[in-house]
Chains A and B, each alone.
Chain A
Amino acid sequence: MTVLLLFMTFVLAIFLGFELINKVPSQLHTPLMSGSNAISGITIVGAILATQVGGTFGQVLALLAIIAATVNVVGGYLVTDRMLGMFRAGKKGE
C-alpha cells in the first residue's frame, strides 16, 4: 500500500463524512455523535496488530491500547443502542 493511495483514501473519506452528516435532525445529534465515537474505536485494529512484535514494553503498550479501544467500541455501541432504543414514534390511538 503506497502512501499516496492511503492519502487519497483519507481525503475521499473526509468528503464522504461531511456529506453523510450534513442535514441531520438535531434530535439525533447525541446518538450520531456517540455512534461515530464508537467507530473511532476502530483503532482496536491497530492495537491488535501492535502485539505482533516488540519486547515487554511494546506488549504492555499494546495491551493498554486494546483495553482502551475495546472500552471505546463496546461502550460506544451499547450506549448508542440504549439511547436509540428510547427514541420512538408516537403510538397511534393515544
Chain B
Amino acid sequence: MTTVVQLLYMVAAVLFILGLKMLGRAASARRGNFVSGAGMLLAVVATLLASGLNFGIIVAGIVVGTAVGVYVARTVKMTSMPEMVALLNGTGGAASMLVGWNEYVQRPDSGAVAAVSIFAAVVVGAMTTTGSVLAWAKLSEKIDGKPIMFASQQLVNAVILGATLVLGLLFVINPAGTYALLIGYLILGLALGVLVVLPIGGADMPIVISLLNSYSGVAAAAAGFAIGNTVLVVAGSLVGASGLILTQIMCKAMNRSLTNVLFSGFGSGTTASSTAVTGEIKPVSVEDAYYILEAASNVIFVPGYGMAVAQAQHVVKELADLLEKNGAEVRYVIHPVAGRMPGHMNVLLAEANVPYEQLVEPGDVNPSMELVDVAVVIGANDVVNPAAREDEASPLYGMPIIDVDKARTCFVLKRSMKPGFSGVENPLFYKPNSRMLFGDAKASLGALVAEFKDA
C-alpha cells in the first residue's frame, strides 16, 4: 500500500510542477491552476488510504474548512484581494505549525532530525500566522497601515530571535521531556511574526506578502521533514522557492535590498525630502482636460494604489473605451510594485475587462515616452517620481520609475498635495507639462466620461 501511496504522491508532485509552470503564462494560467488543484486532490485521496485515520475528525475538519474557504473566496471583493491572500497565507502557516506540534505530541523522541524539523515547522508556521494576520489588519485598515517603529526595535528583534534559536537548540539536544521548550519557541515565533511585519508599511506590502507566501511553503516543507512525507517536502519547497523569487523581483523593482525593506521602516517619516522643489502647481479643470484628451492620439494610464482606494478601475476602462473610439491608442503602464500586492493593478483592471495586451510594463513605454500625448496618473505617486532619476539625495534615487514627466502632457489625478507613501515630495507635480486634476479619482474620471458623451 505504501508503494501505491508514494507513487500517487509522485504524480501529485508532477501535477504541482506542471501547474506552476502553466500559471506562468497568460494563455495557460487558468488550466495550470486546475492542474495544480487536481494534484492536491490526488495527494489528499492518496493520504486517505493510510491506516488508522480518524475519519470523523477528518470529515468534520474538511467540511468546516471547505465551507469557510468557499464562502471567503466567493464573497471577497477584488479590491480586497491583497488582504485575502495574506489571510490565506496565514491559514497555511497555522496548519503547518499545528502539524509540527501534533507530531511532537505523538512522538516526542524520534531523533534529532525530527526535532529540528518540528522546531522549524512550529516557529516558521507561527511567524507566518501572526505576520499574515497583522498584514491583513494593516491592509484592510483595521489598524494604521504606516510602519510602526519603537526604540531599540532591532535589538528587541535580535534578542527574541536569539532566544528562539537557543530554545530550539536545547529542544534538539533533548527533545523528549521538554514540552515547555516547544511552547516557549511557539510563543516566540508568534511574537516574531508580529515584530517582522510591524515596521513595514503601505507600499512595501507586496514584498511582505510574497515573503509570507514563501514562509508558508518553508513551514510546510519543514512539517514534511518532521513526518517524513515526500509530497509535503516537494510542494512546500516549490512554494518556498517561488515565493522567494517573487520577493526578489519586487525588491529589484524598488531598487532596494530585502534587508532594507525589512528593517529600515521606510516611509515612517524619517526620510524627509532633501532638496527644495521649484516650480508651480498647475491645476486643470475637467473641461480643459477633456479638450487635451480629445486631441490626443496616444494615451497611457498609470494606475496606483489610489485607483484601488477610489475603486476607479471600471470608470478608467469606460474612459479608455471612449478614447479608443475617438481614435487614440490606449495602454496601461503598470509598475511592478504599484498597489499592495504583486500584480495588484493587473487584477483590478482585468476585473474591469481591460484586455491584457493593453497592460504593459514600464520598460515597454519609457523609451518612447516622448511620443505619448497624455499620461494619466491615477493615484500613483512614488512610482512616477522623477526624483528617483534626478535627485541623488532622494531616498527613492535609483528606483526604476515610469517616466511620465517626459510625456507631452501629464495629468495627475490626486485628492490633495499630500506626498506618497515614501513621504518624499514629488517634483513631477511642478513640471511645466504637468496638470493636476484635484478631487476623487472616480469622480474626476466620471466627469471626463460625461464630457466625452456630451460631445
Q: Which of A11-62 contact B (CB under 8 A)?
A: 13-18, 20-55, 57-59, 61-62
- B54 is contacted by which of A10, A52, A64, A81 (Cβ under 8 Å)? A52
- A28 is contacted by which of B113, B224, B343 (Cβ under 8 Å)? B343
Instruction: With A14-B237, A26-B361 as known contacts, state yes or no: A82 contacts B245, CB within 8 Å.
Output: no
**CB-nearest residue of chain A to B358:** A90
Q: Chain B contacts of A15 at CB under 8 A?
A: 241
Q: Chain B contacts of A80 at CB under 8 A?
A: 33
- 1/0 per residue B349-373: CB within 8 Å of A? 0110101111101000000000000
Q: Is A59 touching B236 in the complex (CB atoms < 8 A)? A: no
Interface window among B96-104, B161-169, B433-441: B96-104
In the complex, B415 has a CB within 8 A of chain A: no
Instruction: With A20-B242, A37-B216 as known contacts, state yes or no: A74 contacts B232, CB within 8 Å.
Output: no
Instruction: With A27-B334, A33-B343 as known contacts, state yes or no: A77 contacts B37, CB within 8 Å.
Output: yes
Q: Is A47 touching B85 in the complex (CB atoms < 8 A)? A: no
Q: Is B224 touching A72 in the complex (CB atoms < 8 A)? A: no
Instruction: With A6-B233, A28-B24 as known contacts, state yes or no: A43 contacts B219, CB within 8 Å.
Output: yes
Most buried by A among B64, B217, B219, B334: B217
For the complex, what is the distance from the CA of A93 to the CA of B91, rounded to whole Å?
Answer: 45
Q: Chain A contacts of B355 at CB under 8 A?
A: 88-91
Q: Is B26 touching A48 in the complex (CB atoms < 8 A)? A: no
- A33 is contacted by which of B36, B78, B85 (Cβ under 8 Å)? B85
Q: Is A18 touching B241 in the complex (CB atoms < 8 A)? A: yes
Instruction: With A10-B221, A35-B23, A62-B54 as known contacts, state yes or no: A42 contacts B359, CB within 8 Å.
Output: no
> Which secondary structure characterizes the binding site on chain B?
helix
Q: Is B229 touching A17 in the complex (CB atoms < 8 A)? A: no
In the complex, B246 has a CB within 8 A of chain A: yes
Q: Is B233 touching A9 in the complex (CB atoms < 8 A)? A: yes
**CB-nearest residue of chain A to B344:** A30
In the complex, B276 has a CB within 8 A of chain A: no
Instruction: With A27-B356, A50-B102 as known contacts, state yes or no: A43 contacts B66, CB within 8 Å.
Output: no
- B359 is contacted by which of A27, A36, A54 (Cβ under 8 Å)? A27
For the complex, what is the distance from the CA of A70 to the CA of B60, rounded to whole Å?
Answer: 11
Q: Is B33 touching A81 in the complex (CB atoms < 8 A)? A: yes
Q: Is A35 touching B57 in the complex (CB atoms < 8 A)? A: no
Q: Chain B contacts of A48 at CB under 8 A?
A: 44, 47-48, 50, 53, 58
**CB-nearest residue of chain B to A57:** B105
In the complex, B220 has a CB within 8 A of chain A: yes
**CB-nearest residue of chain A to B352:** A86
Contact-size category for A = 35 or more
Q: Chain A contacts of B50 at CB under 8 A?
A: 48-49, 52
Instruction: With A17-B240, A58-B105 as known contacts, state yes or no: A71 contacts B68, CB within 8 Å.
Output: yes
Q: Which of A64-89 contact B (CB under 8 A)?
A: 64-89
Most buried by A among B94, B225, B238, B240: B238
Contact-size category for B = 35 or more
- B95 is contacted by which of A6, A28, A47, A58 (Cβ under 8 Å)? A47
Q: Is A35 touching B32 in the complex (CB atoms < 8 A)? A: yes
Q: Which of B188-246 contact A (CB under 8 A)?
A: 209-210, 213, 216-217, 219-221, 223-246
Instruction: With A36-B243, A47-B95, A53-B52 as known contacts, state yes or no: A84 contacts B69, CB within 8 Å.
Output: no
**CB-nearest residue of chain B to A77:** B37
Q: Is A73 touching B69 in the complex (CB atoms < 8 A)? A: yes
Q: Chain B contacts of A75 at CB under 8 A?
A: 68-70, 72-73, 84, 88, 91
Instruction: With A37-B92, A86-B350 as known contacts, state yes or no: A10 contacts B237, CB within 8 Å.
Output: yes
Q: Is B54 touching A59 in the complex (CB atoms < 8 A)? A: yes
Instruction: With A13-B234, A43-B92, A83-B347 as known contacts, state yes or no: A26 contacts B342, CB within 8 Å.
Output: yes
For the complex, what is the distance from the CA of A48 to the CA of B226, rounded to whole Å?
Answer: 14
Q: Chain A contacts of B96 at CB under 8 A?
A: 43, 46
- 1/0 per residue B58-94: CB within 8 Å of A? 1011101110111011101010010011001101101
For the complex, what is the distance from the CA of A33 to the CA of B32, rounded to whole Å?
Answer: 13
Nearest CB of B to A23, in Å: 8
Q: Chain B contacts of A35 at CB under 8 A?
A: 19-20, 23, 32-33, 36
In the complex, B346 has a CB within 8 A of chain A: yes
Q: Is B217 touching A68 in the complex (CB atoms < 8 A)? A: no
Q: Chain B contacts of A1 at CB under 8 A?
A: 228, 230
- Extra contacts, 17 of them, besides A1-B230, A32-B242 (Cβ < 8 A), are A6-B225, A13-B233, A18-B241, A22-B245, A26-B249, A37-B92, A37-B239, A41-B92, A43-B220, A45-B232, A51-B54, A52-B51, A62-B61, A72-B91, A75-B84, A78-B74, A84-B29
16 sample A-B contacts, Cβ–Cβ < 8 Å, listed by A number: A1-B228, A6-B225, A16-B238, A20-B24, A20-B238, A21-B245, A32-B20, A32-B23, A37-B85, A39-B40, A40-B217, A68-B65, A71-B65, A76-B69, A79-B85, A82-B73
Please provide the 7 A-B residue pairs with the shortest distance between their CB atoms, ordered closest to farther: A70-B65, A17-B241, A66-B61, A74-B69, A90-B355, A29-B343, A78-B73
Residues of A in contact with B (beta carbons under 8 Å apart): 1, 3, 6, 9-10, 13-18, 20-55, 57-59, 61-91
